[in-house]
Amino acid sequence: MELIVIALSIVVIISAVCIIRTFRSRKPISKEVLPLLVVILVPIFANLLIAATDDPMVADYAFLLYFVSTNWVIYFLIRFSAIYCDFPFHRSPLQWFWLAVMTVDSLIVLLNPYFHHVFGLMIREQIGRFDQFYVESHWYHFVHLAISALGYCCIFSMYFSKLRHTSELYREKYLVIIISLIVTSAWQVGCIVFRTGLDRSMVGYGLLGVLIYIFAVEYPPIFLKYQMMQRVLGGITDGIFFFNEKYDCIYYNPKAAALFDLEPEQYTKAYEVVGTFLNPGETVATDYIEKNIEYTLDGELKKYSVEYQKIYDKKKLQAGFYVVIRDHTEEERIRAREHYDATHDALTGLLNRDEFYRLVQEKLTKHPADTYLALGSNIKEFKLVNDIFGHTMGDKVLIKLARIIEGVSKDGDLVARIDNDRFAVFIRKSNFDPEIMAGALSAVDHIGDIQYPLVIHIGINEVKGSTDLAPSVIFDRAFMAITAIKNDNQKRAAYYDDSFRDSLLWEQKLTGSLDQGIQNGEIIPYLQAQVDSDGVMRGAEVLVRWIHPTEGFLPPGKFIGLFEKNGLIAKVDRHMWESACRILKKWKDAGRDDLYLSVNISAKDFYFLDVYAEITGLVAQYELDPKSLRLEITESVMVNDSKRKLDTIEQLRNAGFILEIDDFGSGYSSLNLLKDMPVDILKLDMLFLSRSYDNEEKQKIIIDVMINMASRLGIPVISEGVETLDQVLFLKKLGCEMFQGYYFARPVSLEAFEEQFRIFENTGK
């Protein structure tokens, strides 16, 4: 059998397989490939028939079939190519045109048995058996060939156009078909020119069909895939290495090269580099490994994550593995930065409150047996610093202070800025040296170039590691301790203890119950008699007492200090003044307008009350002589903002009130004060005088001088705190004419006082 028949037969068999597979394929393009493959078989069969027959009639019809079927091969080629190259075809002018042309041409060719206008069958004796029959071209054959040629031009133009516009990745799939089309059509032209009986180019058509099947239906686009993979991997931000089953590196992407400073195709080096992270024992045994590594690239420490994954084929045989390397250096840096920002104070770089408390808690939990000190620092009147010097300067001070505190704290101590000007240190008790801390803090004595000694107070709270208290509470207490020394210029540090907290609670309780206390009559005046040198009661000082429903009897020492601190003293005083007026009114109505009462005026009253308006208002309301309500003011009233207060005092005196200077001699500027302060009476406090002098002789001299000076200035003196007859005699000798003290009378309730001094016995006389 001749080769061509074998070749055609093989082509038929292969085509048949392709047809079946195309039939089963679900790709849309299969619908175009299938008719093409089928149609290609027709001229192949026709040729096989021509080869097989001896009968000229059969040969004649076989040629006819061949002529007509090639038309449809070209038609379906056009159809397939249009769709393959993404040109519109179905129901397009292109389709209608070629359908019409091919139909008409086929019909004309089919008339050949009658008119022999296409070809005439020729028989050759000598030439090989398969070329026994051949055709002689008649005029229409050339028309038919021209149509075919036009068809091919159409096809080629589609491929060429596609080739020009498609990505180079896809050229392969068009190029293969166009080349085989060129080869096949050239082959066919050869067959026609050389008038071979059999069209041997049918082998080419068959193969073309197979190629079309492969590229359109099957198309394992290895090249394309490889190209795409390279592009994708090339652009990816991770480094990727591929290794084969022998652990040879076969590929790495540009990023991988950059991560390890590899030149292109340095596969051995790539293996060495990657191999150092993947311990061979581990990689042989495991399918997947993930780890973080550090790598020094150009002197910079990089943080990479490494992912190793084995690859298996369908039969579960190891095909190789790949390694993905991700550069986390920047990410880590950002994360570290973010973590830092979230846990530190932006201004000073110290820990912020939340992080500080977290770390404190951690320490407490870890070392329950240790003893720690919680230190809180506060700058006195820091607001003032901001106001006077501006916030920039304020910030500088805070930064400086932060550095100082940091400087004196040791490794393992925690230092934080809690808020504003409040810093906190958590320190092992054994590490704390108060001297060093105090020394360091006193170093903040200027702001910029300006000498400005800052007062920094420290509150200290000692805690055991085993404490149940939350860090925030521990430090609240440390800061609380500061409130005790806030106004003390000498003390810079104070320890917190439980009594401290108790006193705070106590203060809160009193503060909270003051209004009700006044309303409910719990806060009442006690009266202490003031007597003349004959021992006759002339009046009394009004001294407050609080009969508290839960705390019991409270002398003023228990609450006056607190209320002076928070300003509520004004409420107490206003209440006492009114109480005094009510008593005076009652006495007056009973005919005892000879008696007076002295009330206390606190320095703070001037800030919270219009003292003048209140007092004159009360006196007017109760229709009293201003002389009967004496006013006691301590000399400390004059310390701050003295001009305004002096004016008020002057006004009150002008309104007829008598003004007493209380606790005269207790302040530093007592004598100085006399020259500026308008005053009617001096109250000399024996108690503090006796407290401050160890030498009785000296004390006597000072009292002597004071009373002497007052009498020479024409200012009467009341001696307060007189407890003994000796004192009375001594004071009398010096010229003192009024006395107040336990020797004569203790402060007592109004009823007791009235009873004791038989206030109403002279009534009506």
d(CA 484, CA 561): 12
Site residue total, Ca ion (CB under 5 A) = 6
CB 402 within 8 A of CB 423: yes
Contact 396, 463 (CB under 8 A): no
Cα separation, 116 vs 107, in Å, equals 13
Site string for Ca ion, 4-43 (x = CB under 5 A): ----------------------------------------
By beta-carbon proximity to ligand C2E, the closer residue of 72 and 657 is 657
The H or E element containing residue 143 is helix 139-165
Q: Give the shortest CB-464-to-ligand C2E separation in angstroms.
A: 40
Rule CB under 5 A: choose which of 135, 663, 738, 754 binds Ca ion: 663
Write out the two tokens for 624: 């009293």
Residues 580-619, interacting with Ca ion (CB under 5 A)? 600
Q: Which residue has the tokens 């300067």?
A: 393
CA distance 72 to 39: 7
Between 241 and 664, CB nearer to ligand C2E: 664
Query: How long is the chain?
Result: 765
What's the min distance (Å) between Cβ of 556 and ligand C2E? 4
Q: Which two three-digit tokens encode residue 120?
A: 């005439």
Please identify, using beta-carbon distances, which residue of 60 and 720 lies nearer to ligand C2E: 720
**Residue 662 makes contact with Ca ion by CB under 5 A:** yes
- 198: Cβ contacts below 8 Å, ≥ 6 apart: 4, 47, 50, 51, 130, 131, 191
Choice between 424 and 728, CB closer to ligand C2E: 728
Q: How far is the CB of 739 from ligand C2E (least distance, A)?
A: 10
Looking at beta carbons only, is 85 or 684 nearer to ligand C2E?
684
| C-alpha–C-alpha distance, residues 189 and 43, integer Å | 15
CB count, 10 Å around CB of 432?
A: 19
Q: Residue 33's closest CA among 169, 179, 171, 208?
A: 208
d(CA 404, CA 378): 14
In our burial notation (b when 16+ CB lie closer than 10 A, e otherwise), range 717-730 reads bbbbbbeeeebbeb
Look at residue 528 and give the partner it binds from Ca ion, ligand C2E, none, a contact being a CB closer than 5 to 8 Å depending on partner kind. ligand C2E
The contact pattern for Ca ion, residues 670-709, with x = CB under 5 A and - = no contact, is ---------------x------------------------
Minimum distance of Ca ion from residue 545's CB (angstroms): 14
DSSP helix/strand/coil, 5: helix
Q: Which is nearer to Ca ion, 105 or 662 (CB)?
A: 662
Q: Rounded to whole angstroms, what are the CA distances from 27 to 208, 468, 730?
A: 19, 73, 128
CB atoms within 10 A of CB 668: 10
Which partner from the list ligand C2E, Ca ion, none does 254 bind, CB cut-off 5 to 8 Å by kind?
Answer: none
| Contact (CB, 8 A) for 518 and 504 | no
Shortest separation between residue 576's beta carbon and Ca ion, angstroms: 11
Q: How far is the CB of 746 from Ca ion (least distance, A)?
A: 15
Residue closer to Ca ion (CB basis): 85 or 661: 661
Q: For the CB of residue 429, give the shortest distance to Ca ion in the complex, in Å.
A: 44
Nearer to ligand C2E, 224 or 560 (CB): 560
Closest separation in Å from C-beta 577 to Ca ion: 13
Q: Contact, 607 vs 633, CB < 8 A?
A: no
Site for Ca ion in 148-187 (CB under 5 A): none
In this chain, which stretch among 13-21, 78-86, 265-273, 654-662 interacts with Ca ion, using CB under 5 A?
654-662
Closest distance of CB 355 from ligand C2E, Å: 47
Cβ 706 to Ca ion, closest distance in Å?
Answer: 14
Q: Which does 557 bind (CB under 5 to 8 A by kind): Ca ion, ligand C2E, none?
A: ligand C2E
Q: What is the CA radius of gyration of the chain?
A: 58
Closest CA to 629 of 588, 677, 685, 577: 577
Beta bridge partners of 410: none
CB of 661 to ligand C2E, least distance (A): 11
Give me the sign of the Cα torsion angle 356, 358, 363, 368: positive
- Find the part of the chain contacting Ca ion (CB under 5 A) among 76-84, 148-156, 354-362, 718-726: 718-726
What CA–CA distance (Å, rounded) separates 732 from 726?
10
Query: Which one of Ca ion, ligand C2E, none interacts with residue 560, CB within 5 to 8 A by kind?
Result: ligand C2E
DSSP string, 314-352: TTS-EEEEEEEEEE-HHHHHHHHHHHHHHHB-TTT-SBP
Judged by DSSP in three states, 551 sits in coil
Name which of ligand C2E, Ca ion, none residue 742 binds, using a CB cut-off of 5 to 8 Å depending on partner kind: ligand C2E
- By beta-carbon proximity to Ca ion, the closer residue of 421 and 632 is 632
Q: Which does 544 bind (CB under 5 to 8 A by kind): Ca ion, ligand C2E, none?
A: ligand C2E
Q: Which does 578 bind (CB under 5 to 8 A by kind): Ca ion, ligand C2E, none?
A: none
Nearer to Ca ion, 46 or 611 (CB): 611
Min CB(718)–ligand C2E separation in Å: 11
Closest to Ca ion by CB, 229 or 715: 715
Residue of 421, 476, 573, 632 interacting with Ca ion (CB under 5 A): 632
Residues that bind ligand C2E (CB under 6 A): 528, 543-544, 555-557, 560, 569, 572-573, 576, 600, 602, 662-663, 685, 687, 721-723, 740-742, 747
Residue 171, CA distances (Å) to 37, 89, 110, 208 in order: 23, 21, 40, 17
Residues contributing to the site for Ca ion (CB under 5 A):
600, 632, 662-663, 685, 720
